[in-house]
């Protein structure tokens, strides 16, 4: 299959089940809401070392937030509700409670929940106060500039992590430009994030390593400098490969983001972007398999 002169490999991205949540961070201005969101989604690229994968889903207008102020929606994903709950507690406590003027609210509905304000209220040293509004419970925690308002709990849901695209090209600048176009399009898909810096990873990994203390190591089959040394997946003219990893609140969100990314990457890229592929483990790791060609059909 060719898309705008770019070959689409007959392969699939293998993704796996995760637990995800959406949080809404508001502040006096959009800039301060973004400061908090960027801080709390930092060092959250991969569960391999970060314990959680997180990213900004998008900006929210004052009319779309619980307290009528500018906001940012963030998504966080963990391998279990317990792991996600700990990450939510730590990241909100260190990066949102500390940020001037912020408040934090749950962005999903559902019965399965992790602690949010109820895990942070102890910072109030006994002066915290609970309040129920519209059937929801909130905590008011005294801080030096006033109060930090935080919803009591955050619903979580079954989600999908590890969707991916591999973009292969004849020059590093061309591959980067195509990947940036892809990420820009994918960020318009609700319910999906690309957790790596700028949405892009240059260090794709494979399971296992010759070093026993590592659970993952460089994806040598896609490393241009190792052509001729390993069993390479690259043609002679491929000079660079970049990866986009996608997490989503649903299988649909991940698939929609992958399709949007492929179309945007290929637009005007013929001659420089040679192929789009994906990483998988032969179907042995994850329950979700995203066929690249089926997504484009």
SS (H, E, C) the chain: CEECCEEECCCEEEEEEEEEEEEEEECCCHHHHHHHHHHHCCCCCCCCCCCCEEEEEEEECHHHCCCCCCEEEEEEEECCHHHHHHHHHHHHHHHCCCCCCCEEEECCCCCCEEECHHHHHHHHCCCCEEEEECCEEEEEEEECCEEEEEECEEECEEEEEEEEEEEEECCHHHHHHHHHHHHHHHCCCCCEECCCHHHCECCCEEECCCCCCCCEEECHHHCHHHECCECCCCCCCCCEEEEEEEEECCHHHHHHHHHHHHHHHHCCCCCCEEEEECCCCCCCCCCEEEEHHHHHC
How much of the chain exceeds pLDDT 90, in percent? Answer: 93
pLDDT greater than 80 at residue 81: yes
The predicted pLDDT at position 88 comes to 98
pLDDT, tens digit, for every residue of 239-291?
Answer: 999 999 999 999 999 999 999 999 999 998 777 899 999 999 877 778 999 99
* % of the chain exceeding 70 in pLDDT: 100
Give the model confidence (pLDDT) of 129-148 as tens digits.
Answer: 999 998 899 999 999 999 99
For the chain, the domains span 2-14+160-296, 17-157
Q: What's the mean pLDDT in 12-28?
A: 97
User: Is the pLDDT reported for residue 166 higher than 80?
Assistant: yes
**Is residue 31 over pLDDT 90?**
yes
The domain made up of 2-14+160-296 has a fold known as: Alpha-Beta Plaits (3.30.70)
Mean predicted confidence (pLDDT) in 28-49? 96
Find the mean pLDDT for residues 144-168. 98
Mean pLDDT, the chain, rounded, equals 96
Q: Is the pLDDT of residue 178 over 90?
A: yes
- pLDDT exceeds 80 at position 184: yes
- Give the pLDDT confidence score for residue 13 in this predicted structure: 97
Instruction: Check residue 270 and give its pLDDT.
Output: 73
188-229 pLDDT, tens per residue?
999 999 999 999 999 999 888 999 999 899 999 999 999 999
Q: Which two tokens stand for residue 136?
A: 């929801």
> What is residue 5's predicted lDDT score, i.e. its pLDDT?
93
Domain 17-157 top-level CATH class = alpha beta
Domains 2-14+160-296 and 17-157 alike in fold: yes
């Amino acid at each position: 299959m060719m898309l705008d002169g770019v070959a689409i490999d007959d392969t699939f991205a293998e993704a796996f089940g995760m637990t995800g949540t959406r949080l809404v961070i508001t502040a006096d201005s959009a800039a301060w809401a973004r400061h908090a969101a960027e801080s709390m989604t930092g060092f959250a690229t991969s569960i391999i070392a970060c314990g959680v994968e997180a990213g900004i889903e998008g900006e929210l207008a004052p009319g779309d937030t619980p307290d009528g102020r500018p906001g940012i929606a963030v998504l966080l994903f963990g391998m279990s509700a317990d792991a996600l709950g700990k990450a939510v507690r730590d990241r909100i406590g260190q990066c949102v409670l500390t940020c001037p003027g912020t408040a934090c609210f749950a962005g999903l509905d559902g019965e399965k929940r992790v602690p949010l304000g109820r895990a942070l209220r102890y910072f109030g040293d006994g002066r915290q106060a609970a309040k129920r509004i519209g059937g929801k419970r909130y905590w008011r925690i005294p801080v030096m500039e006033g109060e930090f308002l935080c919803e009591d709990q955050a619903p979580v849901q079954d989600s999908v992590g590890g969707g991916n695209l591999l973009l292969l090209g004849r020059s590093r600048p061309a591959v980067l430009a195509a990947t940036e176009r892809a990420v820009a399009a994918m960020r318009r898909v609700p319910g999906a994030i690309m957790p790596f810096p700028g949405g892009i990873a240059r260090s794709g990994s494979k399971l296992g390593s010759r070093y026993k203390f590592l659970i993952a190591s460089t994806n040598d089959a896609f490393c241009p400098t190792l052509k001729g040394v390993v069993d390479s997946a690259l043609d002679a003219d491929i000079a660079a490969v970049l990866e986009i990893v996608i997490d989503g609140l649903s299988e649909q969100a991940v698939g929609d983001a992958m399709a949007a990314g492929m179309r945007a990457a290929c637009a005007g890229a013929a001659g420089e972007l040679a192929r789009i592929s994906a990483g998988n483990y032969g179907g042995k790791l994850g329950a979700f398999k995203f066929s690249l060609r089926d997504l484009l059909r």
